[in-house]
Amino acid sequence: MENITKILFDLLMMFAAAKIMGEIFERLKQPAVIGEILAGIILGPYVFGLIQPAHADTFHIYQVIAEIGVIILLFTIGLQTKIDQMMKVGGTSLFVATLGVILPFFFGYLYTLTTEHNTLESMFIGAAMVATSVGITARVLSDLGILDSRVARVILGAAVIDDILGLLVLAVVTGLGKGAISYVKLALIFFEVAGFVLFIILIGKRLIFRMAPRLNFLVSKNAHFTLALLFCLGFSVLASYIDLAAIVGAFMAGMILAELNLELNFSLKFESLYDFLVPFFFVVMGTQVDLSVFTKFNLIGSALILTAFAILGKLIGCGVGAFRLGWKEASLIGVGMVPRGEVGMIVASIGLGMGAISSNLYSIVIFMVVVTTLLTPPALAWMISSRRLGKRED
């Protein structure tokens, strides 16, 4: 019983801190999400120590609530993203994602190699540099109200492709770590993932249009909302099951339902879930920001260089990939793809667990993740406000 009191109190604290800091940042004309992450840092082990990720039994609960939050976030963003419009910029997204994977990988790989580490270590660092964490950028685009811009669509499309490429890179690198790459496994991953994405793009929307009018036999209140939630959770589980990020599934589920959004008012109905659950994702992320790496002075040089490469890799790679949209939009896309978030950490921790990378290299990756995550929201907000990016339809 005391335990549930403590857990409810923690949730109250996180929610209150997120909303207060969000309010402050909105007043500063900044995205609320910066405030929410800072709220987590303040509550976390390096400032007040009120929320301790080391207390695994309770923290695991907060992580699950955070995961549900980010699933709701990406689903809601999917609801505002029509598949047809995504397909129109599909070529650009593919180009952005591909270059944005190749450059950071080689930057990370080559830099690590020159600092007296072996090939496997260097490949792991390269792999940790690859995957963009779309949660941050998507939330910033949503906070700034430019989700229906071409820039947003290219970023979201590229983030999905990026997650797939990242999965393949990780499979190659862990294969190397275990002694041999399994080409069968690689092919399996590729077909599984490609099948999932193609199914959604080609069949998903038509299926929904067929099914929707037949669902009026349901007597439950808000049956359409319930079905949308089932769709959202179902695709998240499916994506997670084939080792994609659950949020990729949630985003796709949202896109499929985007056509019905206006008619069935999903965005409005999901708004309360968004307001309640999404902040937990960013607060929990904030509590996990490991500030101790900033005090490891022997590493700070390498960490700064690697972080610079991580930023330049995406800026140049994604910027060049989006070059045909013009300098303004290409640079926004480059910046939007910078944050690495939890995916980089997961890759590094797999490497650490396999004994493939040292704890020093692990700390350097954490530093890179923290800096790219914290820099992106203010950078994007500043670029967008100073350039007054219009809502341009293509």
Task: Give the nearer residue to a copy of itself in terms of CB position, either 188 or 202.
Answer: 188
- Give me the least distance between CB of 151 and a copy of itself, in Å please: 22
Please provide the size of the chain in residues.
394
Candidate list 49, 55, 61, 207; residue touching a copy of itself; CB under 8 A: 61
Q: Is 327 in the site for a copy of itself (CB under 8 A)?
A: no
Task: State phi, psi for 89 to the nearest 5 degrees.
Answer: -100, 15
Task: Give the nearer residue to a copy of itself in terms of CB position, either 31 or 313.
Answer: 31
What residues between 158 and 217 interact with a copy of itself by CB under 8 A? none
Separation CA 246–CA 234 (nearest Å): 10
Tokens of 71: 């699933």
Task: Give the nearer residue to a copy of itself in terms of CB position, either 109 or 266.
Answer: 266
Total residues contacting a copy of itself by CB under 8 A comes to: 50
Contact of 335 with 379, CB cutoff 8 Å: yes
- Give me the least distance between CB of 273 and a copy of itself, in Å please: 5
Tell me the per-residue interface mask from 125 to 144 with a copy of itself, x by CB under 8 A, - otherwise.
Answer: --------------------
Q: Is 7 in the site for a copy of itself (CB under 8 A)?
A: yes
Q: Is 220 in the site for a copy of itself (CB under 8 A)?
A: yes
- Give me the least distance between CB of 232 and a copy of itself, in Å please: 9
Phi-psi sector, 318: left (phi>0), alpha (psi -120 to 50), beta: alpha
Candidate list 59, 75, 105, 270; residue touching a copy of itself; CB under 8 A: 270
The gap from C-alpha 83 to its chain's centroid, in whole angstroms, comes to 19
Please name which of 14, 247, 255 lies closest in space to residue 135, comparing C-alpha atoms.
247
Please name which of 89, 81, 88 lies closest in space to residue 256, comparing C-alpha atoms.
81
Contact of 186 with 172, CB cutoff 8 Å: yes
Contact of 74 with 247, CB cutoff 8 Å: yes
Candidate list 37, 38, 51, 68; residue touching a copy of itself; CB under 8 A: 68
Q: Is 19 in the site for a copy of itself (CB under 8 A)?
A: yes
Tokens of 120: 């496997």
Please name which of 1, 15, 6, 18 lies closest in space to residue 55, comparing C-alpha atoms.
6
Task: Give the nearer residue to a copy of itself in terms of CB position, either 51 or 273.
Answer: 273
Residues ≥6 apart with Cβ < 8 Å to 143 = 31, 32, 33
Q: Is 54 in the site for a copy of itself (CB under 8 A)?
A: no
What residues between 338 and 357 interact with a copy of itself by CB under 8 A? 346
Q: Is 32 in the site for a copy of itself (CB under 8 A)?
A: yes
Q: Which runs of consecutive H residues, i.e. helices, occur in 80-182?
A: 83-88, 90-114, 119-128, 134-143, 150-177
Binding site for a copy of itself (CB under 8 A): 1, 4-5, 7-9, 11-12, 15-16, 19, 22-23, 26-27, 32, 57, 60-61, 64-65, 67-68, 71, 218-223, 225-226, 229-230, 233-234, 236-237, 240-241, 243, 246, 269-273, 275-276, 346
